[in-house]
Amino acid sequence: MALAERLHDVYATVGIHPHDAEAATEADWAAMERLARACAKVVAFGEMGLDFFRNLSPRDVQERVFRRQLSLARELGKPAVVHCRDAHAETLEILAGERVADIGGVMHCFSGDVEIARRCLDLGLMISLAGPVTYKNARALPEVARFVPADRLVVETDCPFLPPHPHRGQRNEPAYMTLTATRVAELRSIDLDELGATTTRNAAALFRLPGL
């Protein structure tokens, strides 16, 4: 938040990650809502969602905290940044039930296949691709990269995690996003500059960024 308030090109989101769902207190909720209301540079809620791979918080608690954040995001009119790992069916059910289409959002570091991507698109969400789309053992993601409509696609770093090839296993860096974007452009058979312009425009629309 301090960086977002000080630096022109930095924006923030506020949210409770599913790993931390069990530890969330009412004070955390109050602080999150206060920040989202008080600062115009808070552009979304998240990352929020479900993580049934690590299960660092009980599943029922994750689901309850996810629903409550979506409700708050809807109340304040801000999009959702959605984390989903090994929980696509449950995540999609909650997103539909909480009317995520009313506010929009993005499936952060998308890890599903084309069918799951189609269902996310039907809910009004964007699809964000990160470093794993560059991995040699990536199965579904290259097809997803070709499938997603141009106006619904963004790219990201997920720094410090999941660096693109050939940096796999190292600490990720924002500068590596060029590698991810290059691979997505290749898969879509378009120029890198064209992809960059499109995904920047999409991100600006998603987060309602001024002047882009």
Q: What is the pLDDT of residues 128-144, one digit of tens each?
A: 999 999 999 999 999 99
Residue 177 and residue 73 share a domain: no
The number of distinct structural domains making up the chain is 2
- Contact indicator for 13, 81 with CB cutoff of 8 Å: yes
Is the model's pLDDT at 150 over the cut of 80?
Answer: yes
The reported pTM is: 0.96
Nearest by Cα to 90 from 54, 126, 57, 64 = 64
pLDDT at residue 109 above 80? Answer: yes
Residue at 94 is within a domain: no
Q: Which of 16, 45, 79 is the last residue of a domain?
A: 79
Q: What was the pLDDT predicted at 43?
A: 97
Residues 46 and 148 in one domain: no
Domain annotation covers residue 132 = yes
204 & 153 share domain: yes
- The answer to whether residue 186 sits within a structural domain is yes
65, 113: one domain: no
pLDDT in tens, 60-79: 999 999 999 999 999 999 99
Q: Which residue has the tokens 């789309």?
A: 133
Indicate which CATH number applies to the domain containing 166: 3.20.20.140
Q: pLDDT band for 119, please (50, 70, 90 cuts).
A: very high
Q: How far is CA 123 from the centre of its chain?
A: 14
Using DSSP, how many helices (H) and how many strands (E) does the chain show?
8, 6
| Same domain, yes or no: 115 and 212 | yes
Q: Which domain holds residue 70?
A: 1-79
Evaluate if residue 211 carries a pLDDT over 80. no
199 part of a folded domain: yes
Regarding whether 194 and 123 lie in a shared domain, the answer is: yes
Distance CA 80, CA 102 (A): 10
Q: Are residues 108 and 183 in the same domain?
A: yes
Instruction: Give the per-residue pLDDT at 212.
Output: 64
Whether residues 21 and 70 fall in one domain = yes
In-domain check, residue 175:
yes
pLDDT at 210 over 90: no
Condensed to tens digits (0 to 9), the pLDDT of residues 6-56 reads: 999 999 999 999 999 999 999 999 999 999 999 999 999 999 999 999 999
User: Is residue 84 domain-resident?
Assistant: no
Indicate if 114 and 202 belong to the same structural domain: yes
- Residues 114 and 144 sit within 8 Å (Cβ to Cβ): yes
d(CA 140, CA 91): 19
Tokens 């540079």: give the residue.
41
Domain contains 85: no
Q: Are residues 139 and 189 in the same domain?
A: yes
For residue 96, being part of any structural domain is answered with: no
